[in-house]
C-alpha cells in the first residue's frame, strides 16, 4: 500500500538532502581534467577549509567516513605504533578495530558509553607514558551511537599540560557543520568527516583536515597506502584537480552545501542545532524517559539517544515506521534494542522537529511504552522561548 506524505528520515545520518543540493548534483558530469573542473575543485577545496575552520589543507576522498578513518591512520603511523583509543561508543570501537586490522597496537581506555573522553584521565595516562610510546589519540568528537559530545578544547589542554607529543586524530563525521569545531584553534592534527551529515549531502565523500604536524608525520609513516595517500592528493589539489577520478557530481553538491551553510552563517547553524537538541531533551524529560548522555556539558546537539529499559526499542521503532512513516535511529552495540535515536541535524527546522516528536509521542502510545504525556508541548515551549526576540 502506498504511503502518503513525506517520509521522515530522522536517523542521525545520512540526513535529508535539500532540494538545492539535489538540483546542483543533477547536472551533466564534466571532464575532470578541464578548466571548468579546476574552478570547481578550487571552490570546494577552499570552501571546505572554512567549514573546518582551518587554513591548512583538507583532502577529499571518494569514500565514506570509514575511508576517512583509514586515511587518518595510514598517512600518519607505522606498523606496530601504539595508539590510544576510548571505548565511548560504537563508532569509537569501530575506528579502533580499523587500527587493529592495519597492524597498530591499540590501547583502550574503558568507558561506560554514557560519558565522553575524560580529559583528566587522559592527562594522567599521558603523564605515565614517559617513553613516550603512544603515537596518536583516536577521539570521536560526537559519538552518534550514544548522543555524547566529547570536550575537545579540554582534551587539547590535557594533552598540552602533560607535554605529550601524540597526534590528536578526531572523528568529526557527525559534528562537522553541525557543532562548533575549530581545527586550527583547538590544535587538532587530523580532523576527519563524511559528506552525509552536517554537510547535507548523500554518502560518498570523506575528508581529512591536516595540520603541519600531521603532514610531517606522513613523511616518515610506513603503513601501506595508495588510494588514501595524502601526497598525491595534495599535489593534484594545488591545481584544483585530483589524482584519480573524483565524485564530480557530489562535488557540485558540496559547493552548493557550503554556500548554504555560509548563507545561514556557521554560528547560526550551530545555534540552530543546539536549540533543536534542547527542545528534544525537553520532550524526553517530559515523557519521563532517560537519555543516554549523563553530563550536561556533553549533550549532543545533533542526536539524542533515548533509553527504553525493559522494552524492545526495535519493536517500538518498527511500529513508528509502519504507522507514521518515520525512521528513527537504532540502538547500536551495547544499546542494541535498548535505545532509539532521534537525529536532529542537517537541513532541519522547527516544524520538522515538531513532526518528528509528535510521531515519537504517538508511537509511545501505540507501542504501549509507559510514558507521561506532554513531551511535544514541552518541546514547543522550549522552541518558542528560544526564538523570542527581545526589544
Beta strands (DSSP E) in the chain are 8-10, 58-62, 82-86, 105-109, 134-140, 142-143, 148-149, 167-171, 190-194, 205-210, 290-291, 303-307, 326-330, 339-343
Question: What is the CATH code of the structural domain delimited by 8-15+266-386?
Answer: 3.90.1150.10
pLDDT digits (tens, 9 = 90+) for 202-216: 999 999 999 999 999
pLDDT in tens, 144-200: 999 999 999 999 999 999 999 999 999 999 999 999 999 999 999 999 999 999 999
Q: For residues 36 and 295, give the distance between their C-alpha atoms in angstroms, rounded to a whole number.
A: 49
pLDDT at 165: 98
Return the percentage of the chain with pLDDT > 70, whole number: 98
State the DSSP string of 356-368.
HHHHHHHHHHHTT
Half-sphere exposure of 30 (CA within 13 A, CB side): 16
- Residue 303, strand partner residues: 343
pLDDT value at position 387?
Answer: 64
Within 13 Å and on the Cβ side, how many CA atoms surround 157?
Answer: 7
The structure's pTM equals: 0.96
What DSSP element (H or E) covers 48? helix 35-52
Give the whole-angstrom CA distance, residue 133 versus residue 69.
21
User: pLDDT, tens digit, for every residue of 44-96?
Assistant: 999 999 999 999 999 999 999 999 999 999 999 999 999 999 999 999 999 99
Is residue 113 within 8 A of residue 89, CB to CB? The reply is yes
With beta carbons less than 8 A apart as the criterion, state whether 326 and 356 touch: yes
Would you kindly state where each structural domain of the chain is located, as residue ranges? 8-15+266-386, 19-262
Per CATH, 8-15+266-386 and 19-262 having the same topology is answered no
What is the spatial distance between Cα 27 and Cα 20, in angstroms, rounded to a whole number? 12
Give the residues across from 328 on adjacent strands. 10
What the block records as the C-alpha cell of 186 is 583547538
Residues 341-391: pLDDT tens digits?
999 999 999 999 999 999 999 999 999 999 999 999 999 999 999 864 443
Domain 19-262 has CATH 3.40.640.10: yes
| Residue 120 buriedness (CB in 10 A; 0-12 / 13-18 / 19+) | exposed
d(CA 295, CA 111) in angstroms, rounded, equals: 14
CA-nearest of 347, 196, 367, 171 to 272 is: 347
pLDDT grade, residue 3 (50/70/90)? confident
- Per the DSSP assignment, residues forming a β-bridge with 194 are 206
Q: Which residues of 337-372 are buried (b: 16+ CB within 10 A; e: fewer)?
A: ebbbbbbbbbbbebebbbbbbbbbbbbbeebebebe
Mean pLDDT score of the chain, rounded to an integer? Answer: 97
Amino acid at each position: 500500500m502506498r504511503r502518503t506524505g513525506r517520509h521522515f528520515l530522522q536517523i542521525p545520518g545520512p540526513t535529508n538532502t535539500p532540494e538545492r543540493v539535489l538540483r546542483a548534483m543533477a547536472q551533466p558530469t564534466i571532464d575532470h581534467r578541464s578548466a571548468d573542473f579546476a574552478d570547481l575543485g578550487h571552490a570546494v577545496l577552499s570552501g571546505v577549509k572554512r567549514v573546518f575552520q582551518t587554513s591548512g589543507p583538507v583532502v577529499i576522498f571518494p569514500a565514506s567516513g570509514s575511508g576517512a578513518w583509514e586515511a587518518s591512520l595510514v598517512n600518519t603511523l607505522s606498523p606496530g605504533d601504539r595508539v590510544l583509543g576510548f571505548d565511548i561508543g560504537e563508532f569509537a570501537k569501530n575506528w579502533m578495530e580499523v587500527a587493529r586490522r592495519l597492524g597498530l597496537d591499540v590501547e583502550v581506555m574503558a568507558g561506560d558509553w554514557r560519558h565522553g573522553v575524560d580529559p583528566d584521565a587522559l592527562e594522567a595516562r599521558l603523564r605515565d607514558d614517559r617513553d613516550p610510546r603512544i603515537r596518536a589519540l583516536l577521539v570521536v568528537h560526537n559519538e552518534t551511537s550514544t548522543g555524547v559530545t566529547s570536550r575537545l578544547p579540554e582534551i587539547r589542554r590535557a594533552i598540552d599540560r602533560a607535554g605529550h607529543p601524540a597526534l590528536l586524530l578526531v572523528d568529526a563525521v557527525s559534528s562537522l557543520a553541525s557543532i562548533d569545531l575549530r581545527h586550527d584553534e583547538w590544535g587538532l592534527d587530523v580532523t576527519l568527516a563524511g559528506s552525509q551529515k552536517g554537510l547535507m549531502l548523500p554518502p560518498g565523500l570523506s575528508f581529512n583536515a591536516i595540520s603541519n604536524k600531521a603532514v610531517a608525520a606522513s613523511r616518515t609513516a610506513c603503513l601501506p597506502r595508495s588510494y588514501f595517500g595524502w601526497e598525491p592528493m595534495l599535489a593534484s589539489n594545488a591545481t584544483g584537480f585530483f589524482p584519480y577520478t573524483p565524485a564530480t557530481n557530489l562535488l557540485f553538491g558540496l559547493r552548493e552545501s557550503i554556500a548554504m551553510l555560509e548563507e545561514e552563517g556557521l554560528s547560526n547553524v550551530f545555534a540552530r542545532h543546539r536549540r533543536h537538541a534542547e527542545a528534544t531533551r525537553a520532550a524526553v524529560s517530559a515523557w519521563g524517559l532517560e537519555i543516554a548522555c549523563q553530563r550536561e556539558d556533553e549533550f549532543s546537539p545533533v542526536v539524542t539517544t533515548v533509553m527504553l529499559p525493559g522494552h524492545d526499542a526495535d519493536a517500538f521503532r518498527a511500529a513508528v515506521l509502519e504507522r507514521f512513516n518515520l525512521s528513527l535511529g537504532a540502538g547500536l552495540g551495547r544499546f542494541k534494542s535498548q535505545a532509539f535515536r532521534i537525529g536532529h541535524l542537517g537541513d532541519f527546522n522547527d516544524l520538522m522537529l515538531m513532526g518528528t516528536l509528535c510521531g515519537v509521542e504517538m508511537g509511545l502510545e501505540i507501542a504501549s511504552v509507559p510514558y507521561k504525556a506532554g513531551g511535544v508541548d514541552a518541546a514547543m515551549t522550549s522552541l518558542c522561548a528560544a526564538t523570542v526576540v527581545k526589544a
